């Protein structure tokens, strides 16, 4: 009888609790809603329930002290390679890619976009192997090459660059296929770009371009950014220096400046070979900051200068990019770029994807792909990651009960 009474009392107490969890006293940065201040954030089920200066702790089943931490939307990495498990060696539709869940939540990332690993031919396999099995939200930019990113003999095959078939698969998978990718093309022709843009136009989604081999005479960067791409299309590897992004006089390529004016998006796409300080420092000093910060995650980049999303974000902090802008470039900006505007923000009713970050002060080192090291005095680390309202990563157990002997 006493046990039944206790259960009834507990039930009545819980019935007055509006929220499953409240993050209390963290510094919220939410670019969509213009918030850059200390706020409480409440979760109910898998959505954001409230954001306010003060939320009554009595209304929550659990309260987590976030004082001294930054509370942001879950980070979005729009350039990754996560189509793996096929067993194909030396392939970004195989062994060069990684399963996302092992590399996302521990750095605050809740959404990734696979950038061209699969094309229209093998997208169903990618969807079955990775997209449907991952806790991380996995989206796709379809490669204009039907076989995807399987190496040079596939990626240079113009006969497999089918705009109609690519658009058809994209339209059949709206909300999962969020863009078209062209990458690694070695020839002097515009064919991959033109067909990618044709597919993107038919499916009403953006194109991301990794411009491949540099052909400054027949396929100059200025023409790509001022003539071939549409507003909203994405130029990735913007600090690689491999395609004349920075001129010999230390100034940005005129195409970069004019492309930005036209509405072309500029993305980091760090990777294992696409970010060098000798390009990034002059460009950022000239005010050419990225629209979106992405990793180009794969087995090479994660073990080299790139490492992970927070490491790349920390590089830009130490280059002088304000924290508010760094967070926007890793949340709301990429969400808009891929037309997924329910993501990347903490609006009431939005998915409860949240990163709780710590800004550490100290002596740190950050390397580029050439092996050069930049010293820094600040670095972002992840304390907690929530995906759909569930704490999927909790470094110091802040969401847990203390052990008592």
Which ranges of 182-235 would DSSP assign to H, the alpha helix? 191-203, 221-223
Which residues constitute the domain of residue 221? 75-337
Encode pLDDT of 293-321 as tens digits. 999 999 999 999 999 999 999 999 999 99
Q: Is residue 5 part of a domain?
A: no
* Closest of 22, 68, 44, 27 to residue 349, by C-alpha: 44
Assess if residue 132 is contained within a domain: yes
Q: Which residue has the higher pLDDT, 368 or 16?
A: 368
Return the structure tokens found at 258. 């004019």
| 13 has pLDDT over 60 | no
164 lies in the same domain as 240: yes
pLDDT of residue 17: 86
Cross-strand pairs, 376: 364
Say yes or no to pLDDT of 7 above 90. no
CATH code (residue 23): 2.30.40.10
Same domain, 43 and 145: no
Closest CA to 151 of 73, 69, 91: 91
Whether residues 110 and 190 fall in one domain: yes
Domain co-membership, 182 together with 300: yes
Instruction: Give how many domains the chain has, as a whole number.
Output: 2
Residue 405: the pLDDT is: 80
Helices and strands (DSSP H and E) totals, the chain: 11, 15
Q: Looking at the structure, tell me whether residues 134 and 180 fall in a common domain.
A: yes
Helices 277-285 and 309-319 meet at what angle, rounded to 10?
50
Say whether pLDDT at 269 is over 60.
yes
- Of 172, 233, 223, 154, nearest to 200 by C-alpha is 233
Give percent above pLDDT 90 in the chain: 95
Q: How far apart, in whole angstroms, are the C-alpha atoms of residue 79 and residue 236?
A: 8
Q: What is the pLDDT of residues 196-209, one digit of tens each?
A: 999 999 999 999 99
- Give yes or no: residues 276 and 361 share one domain: no
Beta strands in 174-274 (DSSP E): 177-182, 207-209, 234-235, 265-266
Enter the tokens of residue 377: 């005095």
Q: What is the pLDDT of residue 5?
A: 36
Buried b (16+ CB within 10 A) or exposed e, 202-219: bbebbbbbbbbeebeeeb
Task: Note whether 357 and 378 are same-domain residues.
Answer: yes
Contact assessment for residue 40 and residue 49, using Cβ atoms and an 8 Å cutoff:
no
Q: How confident is the model at residue 11 (pLDDT cuts 50, 70, 90)?
A: very low
Please give the Cα distance from 2 to 285 (Å, whole number): 71
The answer as to whether 100 is a domain residue is yes
User: Mean pLDDT over residues 168-193, rounded?
Assistant: 98
Would you say the C-alpha torsion 306, 142, 184, 234 has a positive or negative sign?
negative
What average pLDDT does the segment 231-241 reach? 98
pLDDT digits (tens, 9 = 90+) for 218-232: 999 999 999 999 999
Indicate whether 4 pLDDT > 50: no
**CA atoms of 207 and 267, how far apart (whole Å):** 12
Q: What are 347-360's pLDDT values in tens digits?
A: 999 999 999 999 99
Asked whether residue 109 carries a pLDDT value surpassing 60, the answer given is: yes
In this prediction, residue 364 has a pLDDT band, given cuts at 50, 70 and 90, of very high
Q: pLDDT, tens digit, for every residue of 368-387?
A: 999 999 999 999 999 999 99
89-93, 221-225, 248-252, 327-331: which has the minimum mean pLDDT?
248-252
User: What local confidence, expressed as pLDDT, does residue 289 receive?
Assistant: 98
Residue of higher predicted confidence among 9 and 227:
227
**342 in a structural domain:** no
Pair 229, 362 in one domain = no
Is position 114 within any domain? Answer: yes
Percent of the chain whose predicted confidence (pLDDT) is above 70: 96
pLDDT, tens digit (0-9, with 9 covering 90-100), for 281-299: 999 999 999 999 999 999 9
- pLDDT confidence of residue 10: 43
Based on the fold, state whether residues 152 and 125 are members of the same structural domain.
yes
- The mean pLDDT of the chain is 95
Residue identified by tokens 């500029």 is 266
Query: H-helix or E-strand containing 178?
Result: strand 177-182
- Whole-model pTM over 0.75: yes
* Higher local confidence (pLDDT), 12 or 81: 81
- Note whether 131 and 257 are same-domain residues: yes
CATH of the domain at 290: 3.20.20.140
- The verdict on 264 and 166 lying in the same domain is yes
C-beta neighbour count of 287 within 10 angstroms: 8
At residue 16, the pLDDT reads 64
CA-based radius of gyration for the chain:
22
Q: Are residues 216 and 123 in the same domain?
A: yes
* pLDDT > 90? residue 1: no
Does residue 118 form part of some domain? Answer: yes
Place of tokens 């909203």: 232
């Amino acid at each position: 009888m006493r046990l039944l009474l206790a259960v009834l009392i507990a039930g009545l107490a819980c019935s007055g609790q509006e929220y499953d969890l409240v993050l209390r006293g963290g510094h919220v940065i939410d670019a969509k809603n213009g918030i850059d201040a200390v706020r409480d954030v409440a979760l109910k089920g898998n959505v954001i329930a409230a954001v306010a200066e003060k939320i009554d702790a009595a209304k929550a089943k659990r309260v987590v002290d976030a004082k001294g931490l930054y509370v942001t939307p879950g980070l979005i990495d729009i350039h990754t390679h996560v189509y793996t498990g096929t067993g194909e060696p030396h392939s970004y539709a195989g062994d060069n890619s990684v399963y996302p869940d092992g590399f996302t939540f521990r750095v605050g990332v809740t959404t990734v976009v696979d950038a061209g690993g699969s094309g229209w031919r093998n997208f169903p396999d990618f969807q079955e192997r990775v997209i449907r099995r991952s806790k991380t939200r996995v989206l796709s930019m379809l490669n204009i090459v039907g076989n995807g990113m399987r190496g040079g003999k596939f990626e240079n095959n113009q006969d497999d660059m089918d705009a109609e078939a690519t658009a058809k698969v994209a339209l059949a998978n709206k909300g999962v296929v969020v863009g078209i990718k062209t990458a690694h093309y070695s020839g002097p022709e515009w064919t991959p770009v033109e067909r990618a843009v044709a597919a993107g136009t038919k499916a009403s989604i953006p194109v991301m371009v990794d411009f491949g081999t540099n052909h400054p005479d027949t396929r100059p960067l200025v023409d790509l950014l001022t003539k071939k791409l549409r507003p909203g299309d994405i130029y990735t590897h913007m600090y690689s220096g491999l395609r004349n992004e920075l001129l010999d006089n230390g100034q940005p390529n005129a195409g970069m400046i004019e492309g930005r004016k036209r509405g072309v998006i500029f993305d980091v796409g760090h990777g294992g070979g696409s970010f060098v300080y000798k390009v990034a420092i002059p460009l950022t000093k000239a005010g050419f900051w990225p629209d979106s910060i992405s990793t180009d995650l794969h087995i090479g980049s994660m073990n080299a200068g790139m490492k992970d999303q927070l490491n790349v974000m920390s590089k830009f902090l130490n280059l002088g990019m304000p924290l508010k802008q760094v967070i926007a470039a890793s949340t709301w900006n990429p969400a808009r770029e891929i037309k997924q505007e329910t993501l990347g923000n903490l609006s009431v009713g939005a998915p409860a994807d949240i990163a709780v970050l710590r800004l550490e002060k100290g002596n740190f080192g950050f390397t580029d792909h050439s092996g050069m090291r930049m010293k820094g005095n600040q670095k972002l680390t992840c304390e907690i990651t929530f995906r759909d309202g569930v704490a999927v990563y909790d470094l110091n157990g802040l969401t847990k009960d203390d052990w008592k002997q």
